[in-house]
Amino acid sequence: MKEGKIGYGELGRLIERYSWGRRDMVIGPGIGVDCSVFDMGRRYLVATCDPVTFVSSGYYCINVNVNDVVSMGARPLFFMATMILPPDCTEGELETIMEEIHRGCREFRVSFGGGHTEVNPIVNRPLISGFMTGLCRKDELRGSFNAKDGDRILITKGTGIEGTAIIAEKKREEIERVFGRAFLRRALAYRKKLSVYREARIARKSANGMHDATEGGLLNALYEMCMASGVSMDIGDIPVSKETEELCMHFGLDPMGLISSGTLVMTTNDAGLREDLERRGIPVYDIGRVVRDGKREVRRGGRTLHPFERDEIIRL
């Protein structure tokens, strides 16, 4: 099998064959569906689990799980983590991970319920996998499966956000030598852009579909929304920041396929949503529109774009 996420075709086959749920599971597993949703009576319980595999960071793990939950229109409440540590991991490294989880939980007002921790030679660096739940008003449930025909497609901040931070962390010396110390500091600061909490909490009332762009980058996130919603998307120019563009050019990567936690994809027929986000200081861009044509594809300039088989960060 190839490194990276399981391909959409094989994953879809496995989900169709093996998924099972009680009647209170109103949203189950699916391509591009990051959370399951359970009917708790007056509200929905939203649950997700997500690891971080490119970096060993408790703060990254909190962010990717929060992003999944808030993209469904829910407020995150509860977090647990499984940590598998290699034998050469130090107590100091473990404490750093725990401090990062603590900081993230306090930032998003999420309770930390523990989990499981062990040392095992099956891994060669710390592997952190999170589980998170949240609660959602029934009329505010969103997600990748709710894009509507004619919706405008909005994204926040640009593309390749998490990938830019990871490249900066992994290639510090080379980046400082080629681009200078000030450039490196700006690239490392992309760690502060990983959350979509603010924009998702604002957009939940007026967006139709919402999805956070993670592994596979923005293009794969758009494809996942197309598959989950049964629509196609016609897109135009995609905003790429100077730091992301220059790093991708230097390392030969395509920013459209670069992991992008921190980018929230929204579809909406509310013209006021973009103004509302910009008024609150959140960069937002209109990149295209949703079309229900039965094809479930992403197009630019009449040309069909194909999803990435694996995230560009893996090539690095």
Instruction: Write the single-letter amino acid at 30.
Output: G
Going residue by residue through the chain, which has 316 residues, state the pLDDT in tens, using 9 for 90 and above: 888 888 888 999 999 999 998 999 999 999 889 999 999 999 999 999 999 888 889 999 999 999 999 999 999 999 999 999 999 999 999 999 999 999 999 999 999 999 999 999 999 999 999 999 999 999 999 999 999 999 999 999 999 999 999 999 999 999 999 999 999 999 999 999 999 999 999 999 999 999 999 999 999 999 999 999 999 999 999 999 999 999 999 999 999 999 999 999 999 999 999 999 999 999 999 999 999 999 999 999 999 999 999 999 998 8
| pTM score of the predicted model | 0.93
Note the pLDDT tens digit of each residue in 251-293: 999 999 999 999 999 999 999 999 999 999 999 999 999 999 9
Note the pLDDT tens digit of each residue in 42-73: 999 999 999 988 888 999 999 999 999 999 99
Sketch the domain layout of the chain as residue ranges.
Answer: 8-140, 144-315
Domain 144-315 has CATH 3.90.650.10: yes
The fold adopted by the segment(s) 8-140 is 60s Ribosomal Protein L30; Chain: A; (3.30.1330)
Question: Taking a C-beta distance cutoff of 8 angstroms, is the pair 3, 308 a contact?
Answer: no
